[in-house]
Every structure is written in C-alpha cells, then in structure tokens.
Structure 1
C-alpha cells in the first residue's frame, strides 16, 4: 500500500500547490483590504468636512430639558448640542469572517514507465 501511495504522490510533483491553494487565500486577503478601504472612505466622506482639514462634520441637536430655574421652580429650557455626525450614523464595517477553500483533484491515470524515462533522461545531462 505504501508503494502505491508513493506512486500516486509522484503525480503531484509538478503541480504549483502554492498557487493552487494560496491564490484563493490571497484573493480573500485582498478583498478584506478593499472592505477596510470602503469603511475608511465612508468615514472620510460622511464624517469629515474635507480630508485635508480633518474637521469633523457635526449635526445640531436641539431638545427641551426639564429642570429647575434659579428659584428652584420646575422649568423647561431649550438645549442645543453639536454632535459628531459619525456618532449618530452607523458606520458600515463589512468583513470576511470565514473562508473555505476546497481543492479536489482526480487522478485519471498514472504511468510509472513515463516517470522512469523522465528520470533517466535527466541523469544523462
């Protein structure tokens, strides 16, 4: 059985395994980087006046607050707040959480004679 496994293993010698398995992982990594860029661009566009100044966009929120006046009588007063826009807008943060790389290969045929002939021709040089 071990000899049979070794013979079958020779068929995989010339395959670029790093590319076959690594390419999908690299693509997922590149996609994750693009998703992060999308989030950063959203923050720059929605949250900042301009990317050069770094000044934060704000929204003015006005509401009535119950409390007491100077004489401790119940009163309402109007309060206004400057709130950073990013504090009230959900920031999208898409991310790749899971990746499943499947690699299937069918061995259709194997010829030991061809492998031996190749090894013999390499020895002559």
Structure 2
C-alpha cells in the first residue's frame, strides 16, 4: 500500500472476519484532506490481510476505541485505522520521520517508506 492509502484507511473498509482491506480513500500528501479513490482507477482495490496483520489490527482497534472514549466529544472521528490519539489524521511527514528514526535505531540501512511497498511485492 502507498503511504496515503495506509493513512486514509477506515475501519469501515476493513473486514477482519474475511481478512480483507478495501482501498477506497487516501490521505492527501499534506495530510489535510481525504481523497476518494486512490492514485489511479486500478488502485481502488482490495487486499488480503495476513493472520498476523489481522491480530495487529484487532489490537489497534481496541486502542482506538480506548482513545475515543478517553477524549469523549473532543475526539475527531474520521473512522481512521491509523490516527493520532485525538482521532485526527497522522501527518505523512511525521510518519516519514518516525520511520526514518526507527530504521536508524534498528540499524537498518536507510530506506524510504515507499520502498516497503516494493519490497513486499518482491517478497510475494
């Protein structure tokens, strides 16, 4: 998935029972708006989720629900799978910086976030 597809994913587009994620929305590059569809017409698609991913998503959903209850009416509910603790979209540049920091801490050769997409495809 592309960064904007990941950050724009909504819970209503995730079927944990069937293990499928529908890609129907993206977050803009500046992180300020949502775009219907994906980069191209063929990019609007579904993707199969691994069992490990389903487990992680279940934990994520529990965490999002806790944060939503904690913030109450001040929570901004966009139904996002990946969001800040207040429910707002994660800024794509913040994701990029966090990814770079984590790869450096892990001793991984510097790589772009988008390269994960290509690596995953190659591994499949």
TM-score normalised by the chain length of structure 1: 0.21
Which TM-score applies when normalising by structure 2? Answer: 0.21
Larger radius of gyration: 1
Question: Which is richer in strand?
Answer: 1
